Every structure is written in C-alpha cells, then in structure tokens.
Amino acid sequence: MTRDELVAVLENKRMTEIIELIEDAEQGELEELELVESLGLLMDQELNKEVLALLESLGVTIIYLSGDEDDEDDDN
C-alpha cells in the first residue's frame, strides 16, 4: 500500500492521530515510537503493519515494550 493509499484509508476511518504521526515522521519530528508489542498501534492488524512499516521507512525507530516494563516505569 502506498503512503497516499494508507492515508486515504486512515482518513476514511477518521484516524487523524495516526495521520499526524505520519506527518510528524515526514517532517523529522518523530524519531522514536514506543509501543506495547502485544497491543501495537492500531486494532486492525493489517493496517497496524502498514502504518508501522511506513513509519520505519520514514526513519522512525519502533521500540517494543512488554506490559511488564510499563508496570516497572510506573513504580519508579
């Protein structure tokens, strides 16, 4: 899926926050994105895969966390 096709799907689903992430990455304003691996970014697994691949192609480093690491951060 091309960037424009992906953005069109996201617009159709009213996922403006995800479009903003893509735009931030394109402008060099997003270098890293931390995600809980079991949750991902989007509930739609195929769309999630496409968005993450686009972000990575734009130079964004995806950092996967386990749920346990989030709990440890809350304790500190």
Is the alpha carbon torsion for 48, 50, 53, 59 positive or negative?
negative
* Number of domains comprising the chain: 1
**Tens-place pLDDT, residues 52-69:** 999 999 999 999 998 764
| Proportion of the chain above pLDDT 90, given as a percent | 80
User: What pTM was estimated for this model as a whole?
Assistant: 0.83
Domain range spanning residue 60? 3-75
Q: 60 with 23: CB under 8 angstroms?
A: no
**44 phi and psi angles, rounded to 5 deg:** -75, 110
- CA distances for 43 relative to 24, 49, 70, angstroms: 21, 10, 19
Confidence of residue 11 (pLDDT cuts 50, 70, 90): very high
Q: Does residue 24 contact residue 68 with C-beta atoms inside 8 Å?
A: no
In the predicted model, what is the mean pLDDT of the chain? Answer: 90
Give the pLDDT confidence score for residue 74 in this predicted structure.
52
